[in-house]
Amino acid sequence: MESKPLLHGGRRPSASRPPIAGGSRHALWVSWLTPLLYLGQARPLEMDDLCSLDPASRAHVIALHFKQQWGPEKRRVQPRVWLCLLKAFGRPFFLAGCMKLLADVLQFVTPMVLAALLHFMASDVPMAQGYMYVSILFGVSLAQSAFLRQYFCYCADVGLYVKSALVAMTYDKALHLALSVRQQTSSASIVGLVTTDVQKLRDASPYLHALWYATLQICMATYLLYSFVGVATFVGIAVAVIMTPLSSCLATKATAAHAQLHTLASSRQHTCDETLRGLKMVKMQTWEEHCLARLSTLRDAELKQLTLVARLRSLSTTLFDATPLLMAMAVMGSHVYLTGAALNLATVLPSLLLLQMLRTPIALLPQVFSTLSEASASLDRITAFLVEVDQRRLTVGTLSAIGVRFEDADLSWQLPSIDAAEASFSSASNGLWQMRGIDLYVRAGELCAILGPHNSGKSTLLNALLNEVHCTSGRVMARGAFAYVAQKPFLRHTSIKENVLFGKPWEASWYACVMDVTGLTSLVLDNSALFPDHDETNMDSVPASVDPSLHVRIALARAVYQNADVYLLDDIFASMASATRDHIFGRCLRGLLRRKCILWVTNALAFVPLCDSVVLLEDGVVVEQGSITTVLCDDGPIHDLLQSHTLLDDAAVRLEPAPTGQDFVSPDPTPLLPTLTDAVASLKEHSGVYKRYLRACGGYGLAATSFVWYLSAQATTVLATSYLGFDESLLGLYVFATGHALYIGLLYMRSAISYRRGRVGSQRLFHTSLWHLLRAPLSFFEPSPVSALLATLASDIAVVDLEVPSTMHMLLHTLLLIGTTVGLVMLVTPWFALAVLPAMAALYALQRAYVPSANALQRLEAATREAMTAYVRECLLGLRSLHAYRIEGHCSANYYALLDAHQRVHVVVTATNHWLAVRVEWLGATLSALAAALVVNSKASGMAPLPLVAMALYYALQLTPTLHWALRVLAQVQGSHAALQRLESYDNLPMEAPLTSDLSLRGLESEKRGRLTFENVEVRYQPHEAPALTHLSFDVVAHEKIAVVGASGSGKSSLVMALMRLLELDAGVIRIDGVDIASMGLHDARRQVAYIPQDPILFSGTVRSNLDPFGIFGDDRLWAALRRAQLVSMVSSLDEPVTTRGRNFTVIERQLLCCARIWLKNASIVCLDEPAAVSWATPKDYALQEVRGAGRVC
């Protein structure tokens, strides 16, 4: 039976859709795409709607083709990846160059035809000559469009091949890296290789062509410009050369400013993520205003930097638009000064076109060198990575049967230096922690318990068998297939069933047996209340209230289902209840796996006498080992440990994981490809979204003012240029120069105003959205992972900050250009109006077909790209498990499927752009030719003033790129609608009750004792769910200590949630000191209760900010609280830094800091959530005794 893949690429493409053949991607009209765009107009496109890739474009085929070139090349002293890429995919690269050459040659026909038409209009020549010029213009425009489209198609092919080959090779290499290399290579750097570096190489293909075509364009434009203005051409080139370093300097400053903005935005987003992930604790501590103020401070710094970025962007945009005008002023002035000839529009307007053509390659060349330099560095990093050493498997050695053996093995997580190794292998001499002299043999059918205190080497021993630890001396041997279960297991973010199968085919009877012995039948398969989809439930959708041992049990079921020979189990009982332990030990370890070789790291000492053998480790040395009967008969350390265990509560013995790193499941994973349909949820267009954005930006008055600036700028350049046609004297040149100087100033003003207006709007949207999220009930965050909300919020704010103002600016500018062109042509020949309406209808139809599909495809492309990145991160985090199960081949196949899915979308995106571009370019060419023909015809029927005719022709010849750009910008504007709509939706979130109330303290101010009363309390998490608490009533007097016990899901946590009004009551009353908490403000009610969670949360900052964020208490009071919490010896300063979620503190220290909060809060009621679950540490026990003496414990 064929193995089931670990990850499905969504639903399979419909068999009725043929694959995209390589030739069809290069079809001129790509008419095969039209039905798909019409479908996208009816509903958002999904992965099922897209055609599949042709076989030659699939990742595994491309990777194989590249490997054929890379194999011989890798053996060279200095392998050259670029040469392998050229050999494998050189043909489309060279064809792209040929197409670009033809397109660039044809583009210079346009200014020559414009000059010929202007001479024709000013002279008495036959009409046929004018129509001939129009025909040439029309034919050249169509041919140039065809060649240019083919160039982009071939470049897209090269990009597809390069990305597929390098991403596949880099990912495969990451799965097989040797341990020594992985220890020196971070996961982030590997992710950077397959994302950033590969993308730079993919984008480098057009820039490689730009090296020659930019030079060609400069030479041709210079030659033609020289034919119009002579030596004055070189004055214009000198201006361009002067402007280029200025533009580069400005671009460098803008890049640095943008990088600083990104740093500030990341800092703000990190704090926002931390706040919303810990929102439950924020609400319990009544810190909403503090969090909002903290985020507002960070946001203010970000907006200050955003102002700088906006100014630099305005300057850069203005400078780019002003460069051809400055060149024109210098050229025309020099021409008049050197020749004394009068200026006329027949010289000025073609020269302006050529100067615009000259500006682009001159500005492009510095960017080309910079981009290719970055691509070269990326290529070097990828090459260095691909030649790294691969991981080797453990040897079988002398083992003739299933089992594992250590022979005088010294084990170390880090390889010692040569000098240290020659001196001694002891940790004392070289500073490296090691296990020394390990001799151990475990056979098939033997259950070996591995005991020891924290950091004794238990997990190191298991990882040595996974070849994840260096064996510096002796031998480690193994025979048989492995299965590995970490204490914090690696699980994929797919369904429970797929996590259990883990690449194996599904066998009903064996699957049912495995689910039964691991206790998942009762917990998952038969539990419709918590798991309505049973084992098809996605791991992202597992309820928060489920048994905390679920993840370990799924990982154990996965291991059992593999039917391996050797099982490595790392403290799997740590989070399990007693009944679950008994079930799994009897039915699984001593039942279904009784004939397997099992190495079991455990602190559950009650089960050790039932094992076959036992090993006790201490400080990396085997203190005692042997069969269980032998060690129990001896009065050794194991015997003493087991005997002392009878005096301890085994449920409290739960050690922290070793610091060497374990596989884990991230708390809020990034959804992968199976959930891509969520990324393209239907979003209806509402004009109210844009109206709200305009109001946030300052209202309609400011918008009208901005429009006046845009209109003034456009009118200024038209009038200044056309004046030359009425006055060819020196005064005309002065008017031309003065008008365009004013135009340049207006360009900057309109851009600056647009960005400033957008900045004001983004700040208001951010503030209101964040406050509504902080005030939303916790039930709002339950249905979906917080990470999805955080990622969406971050991207939406980035869109509103940077993209929306920019696209609005470009849209208004482009629409004014189109309006100017149409208006000028209609002034010359009103008959052009008959063509405007059909053209507008055609453009509207193209826009309706293109924009919805383009936006849907953009979301799909981003979702597939994120899926690829998340999958790489996931595999790197779980690399230890992947190696243990030896499923690297399955992972590669799954990643190739993800890569193919991404490339499927990218191919359709490229084809969609091609579909729109060729139609708009041909429509624009038709309109330009029609306008030119009507202008030519107006000569016979009574021509308008020549300057007006010249300006109409000048703008008409630029209509094609303007129309194309207008539709692309309109698509970007409508694409940003989703971000604006989501931010608006936060304003409609349900809100919690008011934070304060005048009635809240009437009964509490007189006497604050802490009496608690529940009367018929009923509460539920969601309206459609069953109640979590039903008819709960009890009465507790002040200072009474209450223990709340019950099975998982019985309502213990729900009781605390109701007490702190994190859940509002459906029925009943809760009173504190006789006052109904429903009559209090939320902050007043929550300040009466202090809470220490089982998994305590600290926020990044300092110890002071975590204890007293509002700065209410003095240092003496804070140190007194730390002293009572037994933390004085662990905290050196109140300003000692606290990292994200307090990860630089142990779990015990975090709980002690929560205890210190209690002394500052002075609450009358104290709730502790399993305070003894983490460790038996003496300082914590003492601190908890202090807490128990201070108030009530629930």
Pairwise CA distance, residues 481 & 464, whole Å: 15
Q: What is the pLDDT of residue 14?
A: 44
256-260, 416-420, 634-638, 904-908 — which is least confidently predicted? Answer: 416-420
State the helix-helix crossing angle for 550-561 and 508-517, rounded to 10 degrees: 140
Q: What is the pLDDT of residue 18?
A: 55
Q: Dihedrals φ, ψ of 212, to 5°?
A: -95, -40
Q: Report pLDDT digits (tens) over 697-708.
A: 887 877 888 889
Percentage of the residues of the chain whose pLDDT score is greater than 90: 28
Residue of 1134, 163, 302, 1175 lying closest to 797 (CA atoms)? 302
Pairwise CA distance, residues 973 & 1118, whole Å: 52
85-89, 117-121, 186-190, 1013-1017 — which is least confidently predicted? Answer: 186-190
Q: For residue 14, what are the contacts with CB-CB under 8 A and spacing of at least 6?
A: 48
Q: Report pLDDT digits (tens) over 982-1010.
A: 888 888 888 888 888 765 454 454 455 77
* Statement: residue 465 has pLDDT above 70: yes
Residue of 641, 449, 628, 484 lying closest to 566 (CA atoms)? 484
Q: How large is the average pLDDT for residues 194-211?
A: 91
Pairwise CA distance, residues 897 & 135, whole Å: 49
Percentage of the residues of the chain whose pLDDT score is greater than 70: 88
Domain ranges of the chain: 230-390, 403-443+458-480, 445-457+481-664, 687-828+976-991, 1012-1193
431-440, 516-525, 677-686 — which is least confidently predicted? Answer: 677-686
Pairwise CA distance, residues 141 & 154, whole Å: 20
Q: Give the architecture-level CATH label for domain 445-457+481-664.
A: 3-Layer(aba) Sandwich (3.40)
Q: What is the pLDDT of residue 144?
A: 95
| Dihedral sign (CA 1034, 1035, 1038, 1040) | negative
Residue of 222, 167, 176, 234 lying closest to 199 (CA atoms)? 167
Residue of 285, 349, 352 lying closest to 1086 (CA atoms)? 285
* Statement: residue 1174 has pLDDT above 50: no
Q: What is the pLDDT of residue 982?
A: 83
Q: What is the pLDDT of residue 220?
A: 95
Residue of 633, 615, 635 lying closest to 624 (CA atoms)? 615
Which secondary-structure segment (H or E) carries 464? helix 458-465
Pairwise CA distance, residues 97 & 151, whole Å: 7
Higher pLDDT, 854 or 1126: 854
Using DSSP's 3-state secondary structure scheme, residue 447 falls into: strand
121-125, 321-325, 546-550 — which is least confidently predicted? Answer: 546-550
* Statement: residue 22 has pLDDT above 50: no
Q: What count of residues does the chain have?
A: 1194
Cα three-residue angle 747-750-756, rounded to 5 degrees? 135
| Dihedral sign (CA 240, 246, 252, 257) | negative
Which of the following CATH numbers is that of domain 1012-1193: 3.40.50.300, 3.90.580.10, 3.90.78.10, 3.40.1410.10?
A: 3.40.50.300
Q: How large is the average pLDDT for residues 89-101?
A: 95
Token pair in block for residue 661 = 């790193």
Q: Dihedrals φ, ψ of 1028, to 5°?
A: -85, -30
Q: What is the pLDDT of residue 94?
A: 96
Q: Dihedrals φ, ψ of 2, to 5°?
A: -70, 140
Q: Report pLDDT digits (tens) over 1091-1108.
A: 887 777 788 888 888 888
Q: What is the pLDDT of residue 930?
A: 93
Q: Which residues of 976-1004 are buried (b: 16+ CB within 10 A; e: fewer)?
A: bbbbbbbbbebeeeeebeebebeebbebb
Q: What is the pLDDT of residue 1060?
A: 86
Q: Judge whether 11 and 48 are in contact, CB under 8 Å.
A: yes
Q: Report pLDDT digits (tens) over 255-312.
A: 899 889 988 988 888 888 888 888 888 888 888 888 888 889 999 999 999 999 989 8
pTM of the model: 0.79
Q: How large is the average pLDDT for residues 1112-1118?
A: 86
Token pair in block for residue 660 = 């060497």
Rounded to a whole number, what is the largest CA-CA distance in the chain?
A: 122
CATH fold match for the domains 687-828+976-991 and 1012-1193: no
Beta strand 434-443 with 1165-1168 is unpaired
Q: What is the pLDDT of residue 131?
A: 93
State in words which class domain 687-828+976-991 has.
mainly alpha
Q: What is the pLDDT of residue 1080?
A: 86
- Cα–Cα distance list, 191 to 152, 391, 494, 979 (Å): 28, 19, 21, 27
In sequence order, which ranges of 562-682 are alpha helices (DSSP H)? 578-584, 628-633, 637-645, 676-679
